[in-house]
Amino acid sequence: MLASPTHAANSAPALRPLLPCQAGIGLKSQHYQQVLDSSPAVGFFEVHAENYLVAGGPFHHYLGLIRERYPLSIHGVGLSIGAQQPLDLNHLERLAALLERYQPESFSEHLAWSSHDDLFLNDLLPVAYDTATLSRVCEHIDQVQSRLQRQLLLENPATYVEFSNSSMDEATFISEVVRRSGCGLLLDVNNAYVSGINHHWDVHAYLRALPLHAVGEIHLAGFAEDRDAAGDRLLIDNHGAPVDAAVWLLYTEVLQLIGATPTLIERDNDIPPLEVWVQEAQQAQALLQRHQPRTRQAQP
């Protein structure tokens, strides 16, 4: 049976600035100095939280300087919200301190798990979409939002397998998580496309079944292409290539549905020169400018 809905009363989003409805890029250490010297025209920067859970040194030095000049999104990759074990409270405390220090406009994490016992696998692993997972994920998000006193944006995953014990589809699962926990949605359009191909979903129907009113940020990225055992397309979300034409097309469809929304061009492998990355962001910016932003409804 379904667990009783958790209440979002403790995790109501605090009044704080949101990311601008512009295109942003990731911030990588090889670009720190160039960003400071050239002030590229991007709407915001995004960093992985775990890279900054270090005591001091150049990472904090540069992030501090760049944060003074740009809006910031902090994107967690290690909270393991989908894990079958309790959240690592020590990790949550370190995240809280990081957010306190940099006051980012947005904090996001993944609908995935990445650790078991004390092992960390450094990958975003898939969950079964069943009622037990649903209540566990909601409890974890509630715990995170209560501690951080802010809304978390949850990112839809890119997956390569499905589970026979799933009892609902991904969009239904995410809608329930958003409804029960009051979290927002980080809509990764590349992930939607990748999963759509990998599982033969109708991605247009998938998008429309998501809680689009709750989208606070969009991710766009590139994928690699492989084949499964039957010879069918298997797309790998590797963040190592420019955004694919099919994903750009899907992005324009999303903008028509939800209006202009802060959009990150995500890249974690084969990092391009800063100018090339900024150019790709400008491609998103051009599309964003054709749409009006719609005010995101704060969750009750």
Partner 1 sequence: MNSQREFVAALLDPERDCPAQLTTWNGSDPAVRFAVYRNNVLSSLVDALAASFPVVQQLLGEAFFRAMAALYVRQSPPRTRILAEYGADFADFIEAFAPASSLPYLADVARLERLRVRAYHAADVAPLASETLTAALAAPDRLRDLLLQLQPALGLLDSSFAVVSLWAAHQGSLQIADVDPHQAQSALVLRNGLQVEVIGIHQSDSLFIQALQAGLTLGHAAEQAHALNDAFDLGTCLAHLLRAGAITHSAYNHQRQLP
Contact footprint for partner 1 (CB under 8 A): 50-51, 53-61, 78, 80, 83-85, 88, 91, 113-123, 125, 128, 160-165, 198-200, 226, 228-230, 232, 234, 236
CB of 8 to partner 1, least distance (A): 26
Q: How far apart are CA 66 and CA 53, in angstroms?
A: 17
CB of 299 to partner 1, least distance (A): 28
CB of 165 to partner 1, least distance (A): 5
- Sign of the C-alpha dihedral computed for residues 265, 65, 19 and 290 taken in this order: negative
The type of residue at 217 is E
- Contacts with 199 (C-beta within 8 Å, 6 or more apart), sequence order: 159, 162
Cβ-based neighbour number of residue 150 at 10 Å: 19
Cβ neighbourhood burial of 164 (10 Å; 0-12, 13-18, 19+): exposed
CB of 286 to partner 1, least distance (A): 33
Cα dist from 157 to 18, 109, 123, whole Å? 23, 10, 11
The residues pairing with 144 across neighbouring beta strands, listed in sequence order, are none
Q: Which is nearer to partner 1, 116 or 208 (CB)?
A: 116
Closest CA to 75 of 42, 39, 112: 112
The residues pairing with 185 across neighbouring beta strands, listed in sequence order, are 154, 215
| Range list of H helices, 210-273 | 245-258
Q: Which is nearer to partner 1, 15 or 229 (CB)?
A: 229
CB of 118 to partner 1, least distance (A): 5
Q: How far apart are CA 87 and CA 124, in angstroms?
A: 15
CB of 184 to partner 1, least distance (A): 23
Q: Which is nearer to partner 1, 9 or 54 (CB)?
A: 54
> Which tokens in the block code for residue 250?
């899907």
CB of 33 to partner 1, least distance (A): 10
Q: Which is nearer to partner 1, 39 or 122 (CB)?
A: 122
What are the φ/ψ torsions at residue 97 (nearest 5 degrees)?
Answer: -65, -40
Q: Which is nearer to partner 1, 37 or 118 (CB)?
A: 118
